[in-house]
Amino acid sequence: MSDWYQQSENEVLEKFHVTKDGHTSEMAAELLEKKGENVLEGGKKKSTLQVFLSQFADLLVIILIIAAGISMFTGNQESTLVIVAVIILNAILGTVQHKKAEKSLDSLKSLSSPTAKVMRDGQKLEIPSKDVVPGDILLLEAGDLVVADGRILNSYSLQVNESSLTGESTSVDKSEMVIEGEVPLADRVNMVYSSSLVTYGRGVVVVTGTGMETEIGKIATLMNATKEKKTPLQVSLDQFSSKLAMVIMIICGIVFALSIYRKMPILDSLMFAVALAVAAIPEALSSIVTIVQAMGTQKMAREHAIIKKLKAVESLGCVSVICSDKTGTLTQNKMTVQDVYVDGQVLRPDDIDIRNQLHRYLLYDAILTNDSTIVDGKGIGDPTEYSLVEMARKIDLREDIIRDMMPRLEEIPFDSDRKLMSTKYRLHGVPTLLTKGALDVLLDRTTRIRTSKGIRPMSDEDRKQILDQNLKFSENGLRVLAFAYREVEEDETISLESESDYIFIGLISMIDPPREESTAAVADAKRAGIRPVMITGDHKITATAIAKQIGIFEEGDLAVTGPELDAMSDEELDSKIRRISVYARVSPENKIRIVDAWQRLGHVVSMTGDGVNDAPALKKADIGVAMGITGTEVSKDAASMILTDDNFATIIKAVANGRNVYRNIKNAIQFLLSGNMAGILGVLYTSVMGLPIPFAPVHLLFINLLTDSLPAIAIGMEPAEKDLLAEAPRDPKEGILTKKFMTDILVQGALIAVVTMAAFHMGLNAGGGALASTMAFATLTSARLFHGFNCRSKHSIFRIGFRKNWYSLGAFAAGMILLNLVLFVPVLKRLFLVSALTAAQWGSIFLLAVIPTVIIQIVKIIREH
């Protein structure tokens, strides 16, 4: 059988029993069932059993197995059972948590998975790319990701970047012509391949292969696309954990040697060392970090920001510059035509008269060089273009009827680099090039002007008048489009070179009001030490007017255009960049330079983008932000965050959430490590003093895995405080484990250790080793539960209150209930090796346990004043 590229369009269509109207929905459903989803099965996931087994390859588990062995030898069967049960429970919890985290990442992924436009039952539909089946008619346009392999049926200047397959970075022109003979993939110009990007033009394609049957599917096993890299925080915690493990091993060795020297039996000495190891290893740490991050991303998704890369949650907290598009992000993207300038006069849109030939040319240009329309009263397509359709409808001119009457002969689509769009139509029997676009671009290509008196060469005076009018519109924050046309030769095919020697017709200005929440969000950003910068394709004056309205542009700031930026040296840019708050008429390359310059100055930059050419800038920025509604698939693919409401204010919310997640993680780490520190100090103290062993491994396991996890998670759920945006962004270079942080951990751990040892001595005096250990265990557990409240915030509990975080009260209550069950239920008492306590002893435990928290709270109150 010959390859698809060697067959004609009709042959391919026949093979799939399909027309250009696409499959029927029944047929598509049947094919989906038969062929499976259009997805790559890259990077196989671990099975549940594999995940479960992998939980045992952990230092703690190995130490616990040793502990279980020793317990067995010392004839303590029950303890052995508890330890084995704990190991299994720990593995089950680890597996559940792993699967949950995987699921939450998957759900985020599916939220951000690409869509495809297809014909089904003769109608254009947008469907998730996984539902695309062979034989589907795929409609491609600039900015789309190609989601399946396909044979091109029509190409309208279609250009595709196939670098992911061929390594060739320049785009390839595509056409529908049949290719004879065998050619390599890169030369199959009548085919498109999954994972390539449409960089220009439009195309209609019949899908020939989906999922693993695509060319990229064949090499997908080589790619490890689904593997999520660890975040910097996870990496630094991993490093910390392995360093900690080394230190623990050394100390354990010393403690063991010390016990042997003191002539303690070998098994008891070993138990001492094991207890120390269990006390010190922060087993809950990495799972708490994952849980808090996962919960944070879910919250952000509910608040319209989808995090694609977990790393972004951390970087968000460090963002110090936000470069944002204007149209649609800071403004509503609801364009309405305001004024029309034609024949030297400013008219209201209602005053346009279809019988006036000059007006008619303007109208034709406006609604024919235009791909927007109205379906069921709803605007479809680019809002700028839609406003022109709406304007025409107001004077009862139906664009759909006109378009049916006059077929488009050729087109050069709009792109944000060129800032023009051109089409070719036959007007009054004459082939005519109609163009609309940015005035500054179009005016340079204009040689004549059309007025009510006819066509004449454009004078300097005409030019000046047009520019003056443009300035007036722009100063009011209006977007201005210019319209021009030219007759062309019968056989002239239009190309970029054709866009010159125009006859000027007029200007149309449109209003796009700022979003209501923009002003407040800009103020929030500034309060948070973040520099908001507007980057737009629009005119400088228009952009500055809007930037002033919402507070981005302040007195003394600068506005710079793309060409002005091009003329600047890096040194000049570096010296001015802090004052530039508006970049207008920028090209996508300018965006990269702006990101680069801010990054050179040590800033963490967030950059928004929606177009196909924005992808490199989005990748370069620390946080690339794509628009969920208006953004191209290519930009979404390159971004690390997607805004489902395209709203600037959502970025600020996401930054606040990012800061909060980081702060909560840090607090949870402080809670866990300071608690462990108390345990370590307790064991060390008794070992050095030659006292009996203060905690059995089951005690420490009980605390570390049960009573400590709940407050740690509750700390991770702490809602944002008001002062979150009052601080400057965090320095990205500053690690989490700073000197101050470690000192706090040491001091707080020492406080808890002191009261725990006080309880230990009380027990020792009153009843010996067993009671001492019970009292030490109960005190350590309770003190750590109280300490959960300290770690919620740097502020005192009286300032933040209990009501803001019910989880933390719940975690405390649950921990206390668990502890008391162990202390008073006979079976558990036996299993957890605890002795009977009198009411007075219980009272002293409670009082001792509260002391560290009282001290820490007093210090916080003093610091607040």
CB atoms within 10 A of CB 634: 26
Question: Using N-to-C axis directions, what is the helix angle for 709-716 and 648-689, rounded to 10°?
Answer: 150
Contacts from 9-18 at CB under 8 Å and sequence distance 24+?
Answer: 9/151, 9/152, 9/153, 9/176, 9/206, 12/151, 12/206, 12/208, 13/153, 13/206, 16/134, 16/135, 16/206, 17/135, 18/135, 18/136, 18/137, 18/206
Rounded distance, CA 709 to CA 287, Å? 10
HSE-up (13 A, CA, CB side) for residue 304: 15
For residues 140 and 629, the answer to whether their CB atoms sit within 8 Å is no
Rounded distance, CA 638 to CA 623, Å? 10
**Shortest Cβ distance from residue 286 to ligand ATP (Å)?**
41
CB atoms within 10 A of CB 629: 13
365 is catalytic: no
Contacts with ligand ATP by CB under 6 A lie at: 325-327, 382, 384-385, 414, 416, 419, 421, 436-438, 479, 481, 536-539
Report the residue number, 304 or 436, with the smaller CB distance to ligand ATP.
436
The pair phi, psi for residue 555, each rounded to 5°, is -50, 130
Q: Which residue minimizes CB distance to ligand ATP?
A: 537
Report the residue number, 98 or 436, with the smaller CB distance to ligand ATP.
436
The phi-psi region of residue 75 (left if phi > 0; otherwise alpha if psi is between -120 and 50; otherwise beta) is left
Q: Residues near 455 by Cβ (< 8 Å), separated by ≥ 6?
A: 448, 449, 503
**Shortest Cβ distance from residue 420 to ligand ATP (Å)?**
6
**Shortest Cβ distance from residue 593 to ligand ATP (Å)?**
15
Q: Nearest to residue 194, comparing CAs of 217, 222, 175?
A: 217
Q: Nearest to residue 229, comparing CAs of 644, 663, 640, 627?
A: 640
Report the residue number, 16 or 414, with the smaller CB distance to ligand ATP.
414
**Shortest Cβ distance from residue 739 to ligand ATP (Å)?**
44
Residue 140 CA to its chain's centroid (Å) = 25
**Shortest Cβ distance from residue 587 to ligand ATP (Å)?**
9
Q: Nearest to residue 608, comparing CAs of 128, 594, 547?
A: 594
The pair phi, psi for residue 204, each rounded to 5°, is -120, 135
**Shortest Cβ distance from residue 638 to ligand ATP (Å)?**
16
Task: Give just the sign of the alpha carbon dihedral 341, 345, 351, 356.
Answer: negative
Report the residue number, 58 or 645, with the smaller CB distance to ligand ATP.
645
Indicate which residue of 144, 325, 365, 538 is catalytic.
325
DSSP 705: I
Distance between terminal CA atoms of the chain? 84
Report the residue number, 23 or 436, with the smaller CB distance to ligand ATP.
436
Report the residue number, 392 or 421, with the smaller CB distance to ligand ATP.
421
Rounded distance, CA 382 to CA 414, Å? 11
Report the residue number, 150 or 609, with the smaller CB distance to ligand ATP.
609
Q: In 2-76, which residue ranges form alpha helices assigned H by DSSP? A: 9-15, 25-35, 48-54, 59-73
Q: Where are the beta strands (DSSP E) in 554-657?
A: 558-561, 580-584, 605-609, 623-627, 641-643
Rounded distance, CA 267 to CA 67, Å? 10
Report the residue number, 23 or 591, with the smaller CB distance to ligand ATP.
591
Q: Residues near 633 by Cβ (< 8 Å), separated by ≥ 6?
A: 114, 115, 143, 144, 145
**Shortest Cβ distance from residue 436 to ligand ATP (Å)?**
5
CB atoms within 10 A of CB 690: 11
**Shortest Cβ distance from residue 378 to ligand ATP (Å)?**
18
DSSP 691: P
Q: Where are the beta strands (DSSP E) in 343-478?
A: 345-347, 373-375, 378-380, 410-412, 420-427, 430-437, 446-451, 454-457
For residues 317 and 655, the answer to whether their CB atoms sit within 8 Å is yes
**Shortest Cβ distance from residue 613 to ligand ATP (Å)?**
10
Report the residue number, 438 or 681, with the smaller CB distance to ligand ATP.
438
- Radius of gyration of the CA atoms of the chain, in A: 34
The phi-psi region of residue 283 (left if phi > 0; otherwise alpha if psi is between -120 and 50; otherwise beta) is alpha
Report the residue number, 259 or 423, with the smaller CB distance to ligand ATP.
423
Identify the three-state secondary structure at position 737.
coil
Report the residue number, 144 or 538, with the smaller CB distance to ligand ATP.
538
**Shortest Cβ distance from residue 397 to ligand ATP (Å)?**
19
Rounded distance, CA 278 to CA 787, Å? 20
Rounded distance, CA 506 to CA 343, Å? 7
Report the residue number, 340 or 421, with the smaller CB distance to ligand ATP.
421
Q: In 691-738, which residue ranges form alpha helices assigned H by DSSP? A: 697-701, 709-716
Report the residue number, 607 or 706, with the smaller CB distance to ligand ATP.
607
Three-state secondary structure readout of 309-333? CCHHHHHHCCCCEEEEECCCCCECC
Question: Using N-to-C axis directions, what is the helix angle for 266-280 and 232-261, rounded to 10°?
Answer: 160
Where in the sequence numbering do the catalytic residues fall? 325
